[in-house]
A and B are shown apart, each in its own frame.
Chain A
Amino acid sequence: MILLLPVFQPSPGLALWSVIIFVLFWWLLSKFALKPIVNALESRQNEIQNALDTAKLARQEVSNMKSENEKLLAQAQVERSKMLQEANDMKAQIISEAKESAKKEANKIIAGAKVEIENQTKASIAEAKNQVGKMAIEIAEKVIKKQLQGNTEQENFVNDLVKDLNLN
């Protein structure tokens, strides 16, 4: 029953009009509207794609630069620590060298002082010897002078002298 509706009976007149109108619509639409629209859409799409590609490239470049910078920074850090290490080493070396030389100097001074002391000692001993010689000579001189006055007195005198010597 539903198929017997007039809308389901193909009518030549309506079909003819539909062909004319649709084909005209199709032709006008593709000629005057779709061509510019499709072209514009395509070129815009290409532009957007290009822009995106460029942005991607730029981003890549920036990240490349960044990594390079990081590398440089790391290198600089390594260098710095190396330099610091070197400086530290040098400092330690200098200090140890200074210590060493100071020690040597001190030893030298001490050795000098010892020699001096020895010399002084030797000199004072020599003087003492000189002094004792002189005293002996003086005593001998006095003894010789006393011999001329008596024996007992001489003996006392010599004893006194010996007493004096012991005191010295």
Chain B
Amino acid sequence: MKRSISIFLFTLFVVLSTSLFASGGEGEHAPFDPAAVATHHISDANTYTILEWFTIPLPIIVYNKERGLEFFMSSKFHPDPSHHEDGHNSYNGYVMRHGSVYRIDQPGFPMEGEVHLDSTAFTSRKEMVEGKEKEVVYALYQGQEYKAVPRSTWDGGVLGGGITPFYDLSPSKNVIAMIIVCTFLLWLFIKAAKGYVKNVGQAPKGIQNLLEPIIIFIRDDVAIPFIGEKKYKKYFPFLISVFFFILGLNLFGQIPFFGGVNATGNISITLVLALLVFFIVNINGNRHYWAHIFWMPGVPIPMKILLALIEGMSLFIKPLTLMLRLAGNITAGHIAIISFIGLIFIFGNSGESLLGGSIGSIISVPLTMFMMALELIVAFIQAFVFTILTASYIGAATEEHHHEGAHH
């Protein structure tokens, strides 16, 4: 039995490696760049590619001051699923590189309608922009390079983004993933709810048994201990929604051959969740909460000022850590898996070496399996951590103080 399994695995490696070798031999291939591949795979995209083979067009909604709001499908770019989702065409001055929409920001490029780009459509190099080294993308059209800029981001240039001539408001791959996951979760929950209504006074069945332990766990071990028996009900739906939203997206991103969506690893989504937590906590914060932040009772006045500074900062640091922890953990997991899979291509010299590819596979498969198992645990842990911290922040903001010195 053991022997037949090892023979099977070896055959699998050889076949996979051979196919890589074969595909590598077809034409000229750029050398494998693990960092670029990892960056591409964890990023959001304006098209949904499955297995580098099949791409589902998504709607593109872009806003530019001169052209106004524009709406079209990503199929206008003719993205190539097997070639880093780079679009063969430009449309109204927009192009698609690595699955993301860029806008040509250089005069001379035809800004109207569909234009076919060169066979090597994009090139990029590091340049000094405003005193910082930055990767600048160029689209190639009739042998000429035209600068292409990415969508505007809210990081003020600190994180390598910034305000550019256009905004991308498209329902991207992450948005599609969120819609799929939320719809699935709603279907699951509503089915379970119907079960509760139908089987009143009976033992739970089917989906009820799947969801009930988690719901009860969040109620009895997260909501009630942190927020209290009396007040938890107001915040319970938010906690459940946050937990299942994060867990669902974490797990959805782990499904192989399904786009590897990195939604909870994307700061835009965790930012929204953290902001919602920030607002819920501070809108519901009571007198004691604000007193403990800005005028800590029971300490001398210089301490009060110092503590007010620290607590005032922590007001914003708390949601900031929520945002970064989740995005960092999930993105790190995706990068680790991509890196381990990338070992096959590194050892195989981008598909040139059959032996190297085989050895790479033998090393890569157990590592990737281990990493995926780990990420499965991380998916639950991060959803739980986000939820329990949210509950603790809400609990701290709504706690009643009957006597001084009860906590600290």
Instruction: Name A's B-contacting residues (CB within 8 A).
Output: 3-19, 21-26, 28-30, 32-41, 44, 47
B contact residues around A12 at 8 Å (CB): 152-154, 167, 169, 268
B contact residues around A10 at 8 Å (CB): 153-155, 161, 267-268, 271
Residue among B170, B174, B272 facing the most chain A CB atoms (10 A cut-off): B272
29 example contacts (A-B, Cβ-Cβ < 8 A) are as follows A3-B160, A4-B160, A5-B42, A6-B150, A7-B265, A7-B331, A8-B159, A9-B161, A10-B154, A13-B167, A13-B170, A14-B174, A14-B266, A17-B171, A17-B178, A18-B175, A22-B182, A22-B245, A25-B182, A25-B245, A30-B238, A32-B193, A33-B186, A33-B189, A36-B194, A40-B200, A41-B196, A41-B216, A44-B201
DSSP majority for the A interface?
helix
Q: Which one of B168, B212, B272 contacts A22 once the chains associate, using CB atoms below 8 Å?
A: B272
Q: When the two chains form their complex, are residues B175 and A21 in contact, meaning their CB atoms are under 8 A apart?
A: yes
A contact residues around B241 at 8 Å (CB): 22, 25-26, 29-30
Instruction: Name B's A-contacting residues (CB within 8 A).
Output: 39, 42-44, 61, 100, 150-155, 159-161, 167-172, 174-175, 178-179, 182, 185-186, 189-190, 192-194, 196-197, 200-201, 211-212, 215-216, 219, 233, 236-238, 240-241, 244-245, 262, 265-269, 271-273, 276, 327, 331
User: From residue B196, how far is it (CB to closest CB) to chain A in Å?
Assistant: 4
Q: Which one of A3, A15, A17, A36 contacts B196 once the chains associate, using CB atoms below 8 Å?
A: A36
Q: When the two chains form their complex, are residues B151 and A37 in contact, meaning their CB atoms are under 8 A apart?
A: no
CA distance A38 to B267 in the complex (A): 32
CA distance A16 to B268 in the complex (A): 9
CA distance A7 to B39 in the complex (A): 8
Q: When the two chains form their complex, are residues B39 and A26 in contact, meaning their CB atoms are under 8 A apart?
A: no
CA distance A13 to B241 in the complex (A): 22
Q: Which one of B160, B167, B193 contacts A33 once the chains associate, using CB atoms below 8 Å?
A: B193
Q: When the two chains form their complex, are residues B276 and A30 in contact, meaning their CB atoms are under 8 A apart?
A: no
User: From residue B230, how far is it (CB to closest CB) to chain A in Å?
Assistant: 14
Q: Which one of B192, B197, B215, B331 contacts A5 once the chains associate, using CB atoms below 8 Å?
A: B331
Who on chain A is nearest to B237 by CB?
A30
Q: When the two chains form their complex, are residues A13 and B160 in contact, meaning their CB atoms are under 8 A apart?
A: no
CA distance A26 to B390 in the complex (A): 15
User: From residue A5, how far is it (CB to closest CB) to chain B in Å?
Assistant: 6
A contact residues around B174 at 8 Å (CB): 14, 17
User: From residue A20, how far is it (CB to closest CB) to chain B in Å?
Assistant: 9
Q: When the two chains form their complex, are residues A14 and B197 in contact, meaning their CB atoms are under 8 A apart?
A: no
Q: When the two chains form their complex, are residues A5 and B39 in contact, meaning their CB atoms are under 8 A apart?
A: yes
B contact residues around A37 at 8 Å (CB): 189, 192-193, 196, 211-212, 215
CA distance A49 to B156 in the complex (A): 57
CA distance A40 to B200 in the complex (A): 7
Assuming the contacts A9-B155, A36-B196, asked whether A18 and B186 have C-beta atoms less than 8 A apart, the reply is no
A contact residues around B233 at 8 Å (CB): 38
Closest 5 pairs (CB-CB, A-B): A30-B237, A9-B161, A33-B189, A40-B196, A4-B160
B contact residues around A34 at 8 Å (CB): 189, 193, 236-237, 240
B contact residues around A14 at 8 Å (CB): 44, 172, 174-175, 266, 268-269
User: From residue A73, how far is it (CB to closest CB) to chain B in Å?
Assistant: 42
CA distance A28 to B266 in the complex (A): 24
Q: When the two chains form their complex, are residues B215 and A18 in contact, meaning their CB atoms are under 8 A apart?
A: no
User: From residue A133, how far is it (CB to closest CB) to chain B in Å?
Assistant: 128
Who on chain A is nearest to B63 by CB?
A13
Residue among A9, A24, A32 facing the most chain B CB atoms (10 A cut-off): A9
User: From residue B328, how far is it (CB to closest CB) to chain A in Å?
Assistant: 9
CA distance A18 to B196 in the complex (A): 30
Q: When the two chains form their complex, are residues B42 and A13 in contact, meaning their CB atoms are under 8 A apart?
A: no
Q: When the two chains form their complex, are residues B175 and A41 in contact, meaning their CB atoms are under 8 A apart?
A: no
CA distance A40 to B161 in the complex (A): 49
Residue among B233, B245, B265 facing the most chain A CB atoms (10 A cut-off): B245
User: From residue A140, how far is it (CB to closest CB) to chain B in Å?
Assistant: 138
Who on chain B is nearest to A44 by CB?
B201
